[in-house]
């Protein structure tokens, strides 16, 4: 790999290698109800990153001991398909996947009304089909859509996007190449309608001012992502309108 | 979409006067949002939220259609299309004490059988129990069961049973729509059964639209012509 | 699969209410204010067989860190760097809620957050760990052993890791003509080269309050936690929200204020302990 200072990730006009402005997201695609068996499902793409999410439940879990007497248990699995990366990824769950499953679950806990379904489990399966940066935030967005598609009662919808610091500059929605050379990568998930940040990580070094500026960039973008989620969910019903 | 009617998604702010099923309205302390997708209906200046989604939550007194999925020592396990598995005791089914020496459970009900039953008890700590002691309750011996989203049942029944009665009259089918999203059809022939199912599925898809009764009626008439019923 | 914890210690409601009513007055059950960490004790060199080690006591929480340094091969994409690996083990003797078995999601998260914070800030000079570029490098293993759990494992683990690394000695070696490398365990070529020091500061959100360095009881009643890694220059070197609630933007500002203050306390304790050691 080339050293960080050997490469440049900006063009002369200040745009990024793929032509985006620093505060521009990749093209986003969202689709709900893509799977027949699941109670809810969604396919979300941020550029070349493609993530599928499915929701089953609320249902009584097979292992009866995992239940909580006064609310539903959320179970989240974030998993990368073996073919999702340049080099084949072993299908066995990695430490990274274990951590991200937890981080995504904890980003969904604040919005799912689990207390309506005591002693049940709500299962959320996230499969990264193609990884090109921002898979956890794309996964969170897909999970939010799949939960809403399943009709699971929610306080609000959530969405996510990552901000990166590249060569001292803050950029929105970093892809894999940018992530490889970034000084810092900051995934953010939020429920804009209720003003809550539910996923927040920083990998790398930033000043506090940069963090707050990056957070604001992310929150503004998540606002748009969640509005898109609403449109996609509603469009399922708009189609049959007369 | 008709004026005064729009689809709302979770997290969206609803007018403060909005009413609707309690568990589908989230109170954020000062403002409300829907917990699922649904219709916000404005009538005479009043707002009503009608959820388009949601699972069936058992309520005492509900009549449901259940599917026998397993057998215990003194009871059956019944899938009632809900997060919670229901229980029907043999004693209740027989209406008298159960004697495992003389009564053969598998002769009464088998896995795969449907029963029409009433929720006898349910709370947050225990699974629902069913009773078949009541008129019209018990094993379903004939006809067909169609599944729809439980949230669509009120629309399929219609105001004062207008929709379900119309389908029934037009097709000659006897129809029972249970709150848990299962509909029992007894039809004079296969064609009328197929037409009734088409009508029900159309209502399920188009619950949120207006003028639905007329369109369903038209669909039935056209199908009848095509099939020569 | 990550699951909502269903086996958590039960904190009596009355206790929770007592905690919160104290927070309202800016106080805590153990006579602290909301922004001061518990008493910190750092002892280094506690395991002679390890190249570096430290035992950290943060209140009643105890974490032992051991650094082992071995010869290995570098990663393909970084032939000119040694390797740093962090591993955490929640040993069952530390808490009634720890079970024997492979690390669970909490132990994995802890190790990965510590690992990232050390790595991103460039704490260990990985380039000084090359024996033969692309072939032989030093591998630095940091093993974190939580031996008594009374909350805030992140901060205690990071202090232990940092103290163990800062006192670690790089072993000497002999290179034979065959290219074989023999590690001379008893001889050291000097201290492990450390470029930066980093600490983490954990705050818990309990209702409307943000408190630093939560005890286990406080973690149990908390809605969520935020772990902020801070380097010696006061920069943010990593961050992890962990727990089931969300934060408002204002709360995040508050977390940063409190964390930057508490980081100074951790740095002071760490530097004092290392200075005593000479």
pLDDT tens-digit readout, A83-109: 999 999 999 999 999 999 999 999 999
The overall average pLDDT reported for chain C is: 95
Scanning every residue of chain B, which has its alpha carbon at the shortest distance from the alpha carbon of A193? B11
What is the interface pTM, i.e. ipTM, of the complex?
0.94
The residue-averaged pLDDT of C240-269 equals 98
d(CA C17, CA A54): 39
Tokens of C127: 């380039």
Nearest to B55 among A151, A229, A234 (CB): A151
Q: Is the dihedral of CA B4, B8, B13, B16 positive or negative?
A: positive
pLDDT digits (tens, 9 = 90+) for B133-154: 999 999 999 999 999 999 999 9
Q: Is the dihedral of CA C230, C235, C237, C238 positive or negative?
A: positive
Long-range contacts of range A79-84, CB-CB < 8 Å, 24 or more positions apart? A79/A125, A79/A126, A79/A127, A79/A128, A80/A127, A80/A128, A80/A131, A80/A135, A81/A127, A81/A128, A81/A129, A81/A130, A84/A128, A84/A129, A84/A130, A84/A131
Reduced to 3 states (helix: H, G, I; strand: E, B; else coil), residue C149 is coil
pLDDT digits (tens, 9 = 90+) for C17-31: 999 999 999 999 999
Residue A129: CA count within 13 A, CB half-sphere:
12
- Band of residue B228 on the pLDDT scale cut at 50, 70, 90: confident
d(CA A132, CA A154): 29
Residue contact A75–C1, C-beta within 8 A: yes
Whether A179 contacts A165, CB under 8 Å: no
The residue-averaged pLDDT of B41-54 equals 92
pLDDT digits (tens, 9 = 90+) for A55-75: 999 999 988 888 898 999 999
B132: CB partners within 8 A, 6+ apart: B88, B92, B93, B115, B116, B117, B118, B138, B139
Tokens of A171: 């950029």
The residue-averaged pLDDT of C3-19 equals 86
pLDDT of amino acid C278: 62
- Band of residue A240 on the pLDDT scale cut at 50, 70, 90: low
The residue-averaged pLDDT of B196-218 equals 93
Residues of chain A with Cβ-Cβ distance to C240 below 8 Å are: 103, 200-202
pLDDT digits (tens, 9 = 90+) for C186-214: 889 999 999 999 999 999 999 999 999 99
Estimate the share of chain C in helix, then strand, then coil, as percent rounded to the nearest 5. 30, 35, 35
Shortest distance, CA C239 to any CA of chain A (angstroms): 5
Q: Looking at the predicted structure, is the pLDDT value of residue A2 above 50?
A: no
d(CA A73, CA B217): 44
Residue contact A153–B24, C-beta within 8 A: yes
Q: Report in angstroms the alpha-carbon separations of C69 from B177, C126, C137, C143, C232.
A: 71, 12, 10, 11, 25
pLDDT of amino acid A1: 43
Q: Looking at the predicted structure, is the pLDDT value of residue C4 above 60?
A: yes
Q: Looking at the predicted structure, is the pLDDT value of residue B180 above 90?
A: yes
pLDDT of amino acid A162: 98
Q: Give the residue among C152, C203, C150 at the shortest CA–CA distance from C23.
A: C203
Residues of chain A with Cβ-Cβ distance to C246 below 8 Å are: 107, 110-111, 190-191, 194, 196-198
Q: Which positions 46-85 of B are in contact with A (Cβ < 8 Å)?
A: 51-55, 57, 83-85
- Band of residue B3 on the pLDDT scale cut at 50, 70, 90: low
Residue contact A153–B26, C-beta within 8 A: yes
Residue contact C2–A102, C-beta within 8 A: yes
Is the omega angle on the peptide bond into residue A58 within 30 degrees of 0, that is, cis?
yes
Residue contact C252–A215, C-beta within 8 A: yes
Scanning every residue of chain C, which has its alpha carbon at the shortest distance from the alpha carbon of A158? C246
Residues of chain C with Cβ-Cβ distance to A77 below 8 Å are: 1-2
d(CA A19, CA A41): 32
Residue contact C4–A96, C-beta within 8 A: no
Q: How many Cβ pairs closer than 8 A exist between chain A and C?
A: 129
Provide, rounded to the nearest whole percent, the portion of chain C with pLDDT above 90: 87
Tokens of C122: 């460039």
Q: Looking at the predicted structure, is the pLDDT value of residue B2 above 60?
A: no
C224 reaches A (C-beta below 8 A)? yes
C5 compared with C10, residue with greater pLDDT: C5
The residue-averaged pLDDT of A191-212 equals 98
Scanning every residue of chain B, which has its alpha carbon at the shortest distance from the alpha carbon of A223? B11
Shortest distance, CA A209 to any CA of chain C (angstroms): 10
pLDDT of amino acid A22: 95
Find the helix or strand (DSSP H, E) in which B102 lies.
none
The residue-averaged pLDDT of A1-23 equals 80
The residue-averaged pLDDT of A30-34 equals 97
Q: Looking at the predicted structure, is the pLDDT value of residue A185 above 70?
A: yes
Interface partners of chain A (CB pairs < 8 Å, 3 or more) are: B, C
pLDDT of amino acid A242: 43
Interface partners of chain B (CB pairs < 8 Å, 3 or more) are: A
Nearest to B125 among A60, A69, A229 (CB): A69
pLDDT of amino acid B25: 97
Whether B93 contacts B108, CB under 8 Å: yes
The residue-averaged pLDDT of B180-206 equals 96
d(CA B203, CA B209): 9
pLDDT of amino acid B115: 98
d(CA C170, CA C172): 7
What pTM, to 2 d.p., does this model score? Answer: 0.94
pLDDT digits (tens, 9 = 90+) for B75-134: 999 999 999 999 999 999 999 999 888 888 989 999 999 999 999 999 878 899 999 999
The overall average pLDDT reported for chain B is: 94
pLDDT digits (tens, 9 = 90+) for A156-167: 999 999 999 999
Scanning every residue of chain C, which has its alpha carbon at the shortest distance from the alpha carbon of A66? C6
């Amino acid at each position: 790999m080339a050293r960080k200072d050997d490469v440049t990730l900006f063009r002369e006009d200040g745009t990024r290698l793929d032509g985006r402005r620093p505060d521009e997201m990749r093209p986003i695609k969202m689709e709900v109800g893509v799977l027949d068996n699941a109670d809810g499902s969604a396919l979300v793409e941020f550029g070349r990153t493609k993530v599928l999410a499915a929701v089953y439940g609320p249902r009584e879990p097979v292992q009866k001991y995992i239940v909580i007497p006064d609310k539903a248990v959320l179970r989240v699995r974030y998993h990368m398909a073996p073919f999702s990366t340049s080099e084949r990824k072993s299908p066995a769950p990695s430490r990274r996947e274990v951590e991200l499953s937890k981080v995504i679950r904890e980003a969904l806990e604040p919005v799912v009304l689990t207390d309506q379904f005591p002693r049940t489990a709500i299962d959320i399966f996230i499969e990264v089909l193609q990884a090109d940066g921002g898979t956890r935030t794309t996964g969170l967005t897909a999970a939010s859509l799949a939960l809403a598609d399943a009709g699971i009662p929610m306080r609000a919808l959530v969405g996510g996007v990552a901000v990166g610091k590249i060569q001292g500059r803050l950029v929105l929605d970093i892809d894999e190449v940018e992530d490889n050379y970034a000084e810092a990568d900051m995934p953010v998930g939020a429920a804009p309608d209720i003003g809550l940040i539910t996923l927040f990580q920083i990998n790398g070094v930033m000043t506090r001012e940069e963090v707050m500026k990056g957070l604001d960039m992310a929150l503004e973008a998540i606002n748009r992502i969640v509005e898109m989620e609403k449109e996609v969910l509603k469009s399922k019903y708009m189609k049959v309108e007369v | 979409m008709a004026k005064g009617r729009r689809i709302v998604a979770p997290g969206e702010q609803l007018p403060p006067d909005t009413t609707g099923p309690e568990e589908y309205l989230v109170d954020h302390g000062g403002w409300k949002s829907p917990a699922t997708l649904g219709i916000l209906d404005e009538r005479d200046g009043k707002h009503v939220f009608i959820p388009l989604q949601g699972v069936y939550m058992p309520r005492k007194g509900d009549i449901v259609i259940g599917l026998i999925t397993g057998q215990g020592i003194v009871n059956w396990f019944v899938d009632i299309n809900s997060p919670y598995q229901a229980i029907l005791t043999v004693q209740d089914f027989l209406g008298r004490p159960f004697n495992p020496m003389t009564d053969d459970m598998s002769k009464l009900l088998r896995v795969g059988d449907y029963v029409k039953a009433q929720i006898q008890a349910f709370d947050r700590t225990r699974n629902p129990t069913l009773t078949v002691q009541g008129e019209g309750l018990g094993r379903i011996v004939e006809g067909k069961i169609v599944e729809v989203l439980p949230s669509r049942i009120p629309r399929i029944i219609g105001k004062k049973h207008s929709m379900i009665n119309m389908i029934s009259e037009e097709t000659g089918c006897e129809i029972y729509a249970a709150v848990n999203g299962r509909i029992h059809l007894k039809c004079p022939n296969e064609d009328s059964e197929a037409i009734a199912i088409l009508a029900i599925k159309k209502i399920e898809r188009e619950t949120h639209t207006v003028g639905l009764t007329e369109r369903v009626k038209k669909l039935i008439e056209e199908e009848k012509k095509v099939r020569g019923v | 699969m990550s699951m909502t914890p269903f086996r958590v210690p039960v904190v009596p409601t009355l206790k929770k209410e007592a905690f919160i009513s104290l927070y309202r007055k800016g106080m805590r059950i153990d006579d602290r204010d909301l922004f001061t960490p518990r008493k910190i004790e750092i002892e280094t060199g506690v395991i002679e067989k390890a190249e570096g080690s430290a035992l950290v006591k943060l209140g009643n929480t105890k974490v032992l860190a051991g650094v082992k340094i071995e010869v290995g091969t570098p990663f393909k994409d970084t032939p000119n760097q040694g390797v740093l690996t962090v591993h955490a083990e929640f040993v069952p003797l530390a808490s009634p809620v720890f079970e024997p078995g492979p690390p669970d999601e909490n132990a994995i998260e802890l190790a990965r957050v510590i690992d990232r914070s050390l790595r991103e800030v460039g704490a260990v000079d990985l380039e000084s760990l090359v024996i033969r570029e692309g072939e032989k490098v030093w591998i630095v293993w940091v093993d974190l052993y939580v031996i008594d759990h009374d909350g805030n494992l992140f901060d205690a683990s990071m202090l232990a890791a940092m103290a163990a690394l800062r006192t670690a000695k790089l072993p000497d070696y002999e290179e034979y003509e065959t290219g074989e490398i023999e590690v001379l365990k008893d001889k050291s070529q000097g201290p492990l080269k450390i470029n930066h020091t980093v600490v983490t500061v954990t705050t818990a959100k309990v209702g409307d309050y943000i408190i630093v360095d939560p005890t286990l009881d406080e973690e149990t009643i908390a809605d969520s936690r935020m772990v902020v890694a801070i380097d010696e220059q006061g920069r943010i070197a990593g961050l992890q929200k962990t727990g089931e609630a969300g934060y408002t933007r204002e709360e995040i500002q508050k977390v940063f204020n409190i964390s930057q203050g508490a980081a100074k306390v951790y740095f002071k304790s760490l530097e004092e302990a290392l200075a005593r050691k000479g």
